[in-house]
Amino acid sequence: MKKIAFILWIVSLILTFAGGIYVLANHGQVNAGYAVIPALWCVICFGVYRRGK
């Protein structure tokens, strides 16, 4: 479970940065959810990873 949470944390971190770059590249005209939703998953997965430690 700990390894799965770590892998999902890394993937969601990458998606967060990619979503943020996408929003900035479109001058904020697209939905900010492209960056916020993966960031939420990033926080959740990191919490699960830390709790399993």
Question: What is the domain partition of the chain in residue ranges?
Answer: 2-52
pLDDT in tens, 8-29: 999 999 999 999 999 999 999 9
Residue type, 3: K
Question: For residues 46 and 38, what is the distance between their CA atoms, to the nearest angstrom?
Answer: 12
Question: For residues 14 and 2, what is the distance between their CA atoms, to the nearest angstrom?
Answer: 19
Q: With H, G, I as helix, E, B as strand and everything else as coil, classify residue 1.
A: coil
The dihedral sign for the CA sequence 34, 36, 38, 39: positive
52 pLDDT band, cuts 50/70/90, is confident
Please give the model's pTM, rounded to 2 decimal places.
0.87
